[in-house]
Amino acid sequence: MIDPISRLGRSAARRLSRLGALARFGFHALRAAPALTPAGRRVALRVGLTQVRFTALNAVGLVVLLSSILSFLVISQAVREFGRLGVTDLIGTLMVIAIVRELGPLITALTIAGRSGTAIAAELATNQVLGEVRALVAMGIDPKQYLVLPRFVGAVVSMFALLVVFDIVAIGAGFAAAKFNGMSGDRYVQIVLQSLTARDIWLTVAKALATGLIVGIVPSYFGLSVRGAPTEIPVATSRATVTSIVGIFLSCALLR
Amino acid sequence: MTAPLAFEELRLGGRVTPFTLAVPEHHTVAVLGDEDSGVGTLGGYALGLERPAGGRAAVFGVVIADLPELERLAFRRRVGYLPAGEGLLQNLSLRDNVALPLRFGSDAAPHEIDGRVSVMLTAVRVAAAAQRRPAQANEEERRRAAIARATAFDPALVIMEQPFDGLTTRAAAELLEFVRGGETADGARRTILITGQELPAVIHRRIERTYRLTRAGALELEPA
């Protein structure tokens, strides 16, 4: 009887300890920012811009595709079904709450975690295995400043940028779906705008920030936690992805 | 006068006898030993990348590992370090690898850094391969670029791990001359510590002292 409970306790303690280490890692990465010299800031900015190009710019097509398909399908069904029930006004609520506020941050963050988070974890793990991180430290370059911070900031910026793209495309695709199913475009715009409140906007922003922090810090943490064997790289990548996904769902669920 | 690099009573590998060695200024000293002798850890201890189980490693009289984090990072720029396996960043070209420490750690203008990097790449004879990434370059080109990177800040002390493994005798001799940085009345301009398993005979003849860590744990001076 005691054994399963103690095993459960050990597992919970291990997870809590990892969560603590993750938070400490994120805090140290952020704390490294003010210590950057002007020259270091220029290098970190360049790395950060490369990260934004890969994470945001190169993912625009994917986000547009996911957002337009999702929104078009949901609004098409809703116009038909809500029309039958005579509650077409609810389409605005559906668009704002379900798509813009809830699914937007969730799908965008999952896209970044799956696409860029895995790449970051694998890249940093490889840096670690090949002794590149050690060489950076030996040259007087803080890996938190050169490797972690730019990726972290890049991921947060990309999350916001892609979320804006997602929401604009979703509303546009909803407009097209509404018109395609016989609803007037003006009516669609009117009910969507009526449903939009300040709370929806700040909740969307809060979710973007929370999920951005997760996809920015979790892959770096797991990537740099590799100690030396190349076989640890896929393990670190997999752990980073799973932890990011769980964190994204939890943060979206908690911010309501 | 304080030696630029001193190991005092260091616990090295599984050896019972503590390791003590001072590298005098302007001297090139090699410490050779088997892989399990612990010679490969000397560079890491000197730069404060790892802490020894006992004893201390001091660079210019300072134990780097004891410094606060920011000072530790800044102090390391005073030491050139060539790790075993080079440690070049795979996503940067050889040129960008050499430029990285200067771009990150100096306040020089970008055009000044570019100029200095070009001079260094030419000096180590890797300018033609400068735009290649490490995976596209051969071992000798990578080693040349890594040595240029290690000396980017023109350090007074350079620590090199297995620097000549896999190189031709001519390349090894050339690179040693480059790292020595010219001659003074007391010897080379820079103080150099080389660690590894073996040295080419041509290098052995050009350095001041070669020590060998024996299996018994003794540090023996090899005949010149």
pLDDT higher than 70, residue B1: no
CA–CA min distance B224, chain A (Å): 31
Give the percent of chain B with pLDDT over 70. 98
Which among A200, A93, A216, A229 is positioned nearest to A144, based on CA atoms? A216
CA–CA min distance B223, chain A (Å): 32
What number is the average pLDDT over the span B80-103?
A: 94
Question: Residue A80: enclosing H or E segment and its boundaries?
Answer: helix A60-85
Instruction: Using CA coordinates, name the residue in chain A closest to B96.
Output: A43
Is B103 in the A-facing interface, judged by CB distances under 8 Å?
A: yes
Average pLDDT, chain B: 90
Cross-chain Cβ contact B87/A146 below 8 Å: no
Contacts of A39 in chain B (CB under 8 A): 103-108
pLDDT tens, position by position, B2-54? 889 999 998 887 777 888 999 999 999 999 998 888 899 999 999 999 999 88
Contacts of B49 in chain A (CB under 8 A): 134, 137-138
CA–CA min distance A117, chain B (Å): 17
Instruction: Using CA coordinates, name the residue in chain B closest to A40.
Output: B104
When CB atoms are compared, the residue of A123, A134, A141 closest to B101 is A141
pLDDT at B204: 86
Contacts of A132 in chain B (CB under 8 A): 87-90
Contacts of A35 in chain B (CB under 8 A): 70
Cross-chain Cβ contact A138/B47 below 8 Å: yes
Contacts of A34 in chain B (CB under 8 A): none
B182 versus B169: the higher-pLDDT residue is: B169
Task: Label each residue of chain B as H, E or C.
Answer: CCCCEEEEEECCCCCCCCEEEEECCCCEEEEECCHHHCHHHHHHHHCCCCCCCCCEEEECCECHHHCCHHHHHHHHCCEEEECCCCCCCCCCCHHHHHHHHHHHHCCCCHHHHHHHHHHHHHHCCCHHHCCCCHHHCCHHHHHHHHHHHHCCCCCCEEEEECCCCCCCHHHHHHHHHHHHCCEECCEECCEEEEEECCCCHHHHHHCCEEEEECCCCCEEECCC
Chunked mean pLDDT (size 10), chain A, 256 residues: 83 88 91 87 92 95 97 94 89 92 95 96 95 94 94 95 96 94 91 92 93 94 92 95 96 91
pLDDT at B224: 66
What number is the average pLDDT over the span B149-172?
A: 93
pLDDT tens, position by position, B94-130? 999 999 999 998 888 889 999 999 999 999 999 999 9
CB pairs under 8 A between A and B: 78
Q: How high is the ipTM of this complex?
A: 0.91
Instruction: Using CA coordinates, name the residue in chain B closest to A39.
Output: B104
- For A41, the token pair is 């800031």
pLDDT at A89: 87
Burial A113-139 (b: 16+ CB within 10 A, else e): bbbbbbbbbbbbbbbbbbbbbbbbbbb
